[in-house]
Amino acid sequence: AQSVTQLDSHVSVSEGTPVLLRCNYSSSYSPSLFWYVQHPNKGLQLLLKYTSAATLVKGINGFEAEFKKSETSFHLTKPSAHMSDAAEYFCVVSEVGNEKLTFGTGTRLTIIP
Amino acid sequence: DSGVTQTPKHLITATGQRVTLRCSPRSGDLSVYWYQQSLDQGLQFLIQYYNGEERAKGNILERFSAQQFPDLHSELNLSSLELGDSALYFCASSPRGIDQETQYFGPGTRLLVL
């Protein structure tokens, strides 16, 4: 069975400082992992996707994530936070043989001016 | 803009009523998925259709049903509505509906049951 755990429900960082949103996954088979972002009153937008081609995945808006199999982690990072990054971020897993996406509980990112 | 459209954006109705949510997938996508986002349950997969046929089912209540039409748009029907059905309902689409494929989400329909 597939599942993800987002370790922080809320993260606050100052503008211009690094962002780290943590995600651990559980999967019986080789997983695909995603990060989606949801801005207030908006839909879900794909930030990036891991599919085993490379462990460091670069996404949109300067975000990237590193797949670490030994730690079953897929943390999302950004070197320098911008006010427009304030949103809810979801770590998502999909494994072989399972068409559905399983979402984490989300991490709300607040940017302090 | 993902290319997935959903109507209506907002829906307010009363308990016991029935509503229909509509979704048009991205051009070329054959598969449609429905998800429910609520405060207590988070984001949950409801059901998937591929080229008009049901392919996968998740935590969908018996009061809820869906279908995908020949033009590939999909409708989610919610009946005998309860207060707890108030949620944001998302539709997503993907090209082939296979495992590990990226799904593109619409803006959602916010349902409020009073």
In this predicted structure, what is the pLDDT of residue B48?
Answer: 95
Size of chain B in residues: 114
Give the pLDDT of residue B70: 96
pLDDT digits (tens, 9 = 90+) for A5-35: 999 999 999 999 999 999 999 887 778 899 9
pLDDT of residue A108: 97
DSSP of B17-69: --EEEEEEPPTT--EEEEEEEETTTEEEEEEEEETTEEEEE-S--TTEEEEE-
Q: Give A14 to chain B, closest Cα distance, Å.
A: 27
Q: Give me the pLDDT at residue B31, please.
A: 96
pLDDT of residue A63: 97
Which residues of chain A fall below pLDDT 50?
none
| Contact yes or no for A107/A9 (Cβ under 8 A) | yes
Q: By the CB < 8 Å criterion, does B104 face chain A? A: yes
Q: Considering CB atoms only, which of B31, B90, B97 is closest to A43? A: B90
In this prediction, residue A43 carries a pLDDT of 86
Summary mean pLDDT of chain B: 95
Distance from the Cα of B18 to chain A's closest Cα (Å) equals 24
CA distance B66 to B92: 14
Question: CA of B82, closest CA in chain A: separation in Å?
Answer: 23
Q: Say if the Cβ atoms of A32 and B100 lie within 8 Å.
A: yes
* A97–B contact, CB cutoff 8 A: yes
Shortest Cα distance from B68 to chain A (angstroms)? 17
pLDDT of residue A98: 73
Q: Which of B35, B97, B102 is facing A99, going by the closest CB pair?
A: B97
pLDDT digits (tens, 9 = 90+) for B70-85: 999 999 999 999 999 9
User: Does residue B30 surpass a pLDDT of 90?
Assistant: yes
**What is the distance between the alpha carbons of residues B87 and B42, in angstroms, rounded to a whole number?**
10
Contacts of B58 in chain A (CB under 8 A): 100
A43 touching chain B per CB within 8 A? yes
Q: How much is the pLDDT for A17?
A: 98
Q: What is the pLDDT of residues B37-72, one digit of tens each?
A: 998 889 999 999 999 999 999 989 999 999 999 999
Subunit contact A99:B42, Cβ cutoff 8 A: no
Average pLDDT over residues B16-41: 95
Compute CA A35 distance to the chain's CA centroid, rounded to the nearest angstrom: 4
